[in-house]
Amino acid sequence: MQPITPSFPATRLRRLRRSEGLRAMVRETTLTPDDFIWPVFVRDGEGIEEPVASMPGVVRRSVDKVVEAAREAHSLGIPAICLFPFTDPKLKTEDCAEAWNPENLSNRATRAIKDAVPDMVVMTDVALDPYNITGHDGYMDADGYIENDRTVEALVKQTLSQARAGSDIIGPSDMMDSRIAAMRGALEGEGFSNVAILSYAAKYASAFYGPFRDAVGASGAFKGDKKGYQMDPGNSDEAMRLVARDLAEGADMVMIKPGMPYLDICRRTKDMFGVPTFAYQVSGEYAMLAGAAERGWLDHDRVMLESLMAFKRAGCDGVLTYFAPAAARLLNG
């Protein structure tokens, strides 16, 4: 029921906007560093922080520098880091075996973070695209179609490899059918019952992922598109079906990706299911805001915080964002 608002001048809604103290008292949505998961790109080498040209302020880090980033995140109150590997092209193959190599970049970085900052939550990405010679998230058949069931078998091996390395949260970003049930069953069977799954339940076939593919080195090999397995941007009801399925199969949390263009999906998900709901403020979203701010077209700090607040207002419990450390520093004030 809509509240009855007395007419003017008995009601002057501006009264509660008059000062920062009043505005803070009645603010409906708040933002804290606890709301952030920081996506970090990891590469081989030592002592390396290599700028990503299409993402101002974002770098690829060697494992030792990822550990430094984890320490910084922990000191800022950011609870989680999500790892994405920049894989040497020589290690990319048709069978994607590097994805479950115990010594791959993601697994080495996970172990190093957990050794150095045990309280830092480590999330790892489950998908074959960083390891696939085709740049796709799964195995491709002779007709160019991504094979679902064969891909799921590989994703399960990748999941177990990450769990053994110490990952706290598995993040399946592949969008294959039935992968959550397969992963949950494998984790339970191997004794990893406390490893959480944050499912990319509604991941759209979006044009906003371009800078990310540069960051992980997948853009050069990639041909075609991912419309055969990622969601059609015109669909909303389908997203609810996907969220319901992933929850039924054992996902603990769900994610909407991209974020800002799909705030309606975030709101529907939270309202319909009431489960921990996250959004990914993806590379293209970040690049637009950071690039415009770099040119003086936008106020960096204000648009950063305003964009992050939008996710919370839309019902999200948290957001994966490349802005995480900058936003946390501001919020910690």
- Positions annotated as catalytic residues are 203, 257
Residues 6+ apart with CB under 8 A from 158: 99, 100, 126, 128
What value, to the nearest 5°, has the Cα angle with vertex 89 and ends 124 and 38? Answer: 25
CA nearest neighbour of 243 among 252, 222, 234, 329: 252
CA nearest neighbour of 319 among 76, 124, 45, 32: 32
Cβ(199)–Cβ(269) below 8 Å? no
What value, to the nearest 5°, has the Cα angle with vertex 42 and ends 225 and 130? Answer: 25
Tell how many helices (H) and how many strands (E) occur in the chain.
Answer: 11, 12
Cβ(195)–Cβ(187) below 8 Å? yes
**Distances 5 to 2, 14, 146 between C-alpha atoms, Å:** 9, 14, 56
Give the whole-angstrom CA distance, residue 310 versus residue 185: 35
CA 150 to chain centre: 25
Cβ(127)–Cβ(179) below 8 Å? no
What is the DSSP-derived secondary structure letter of residue 4? Answer: P
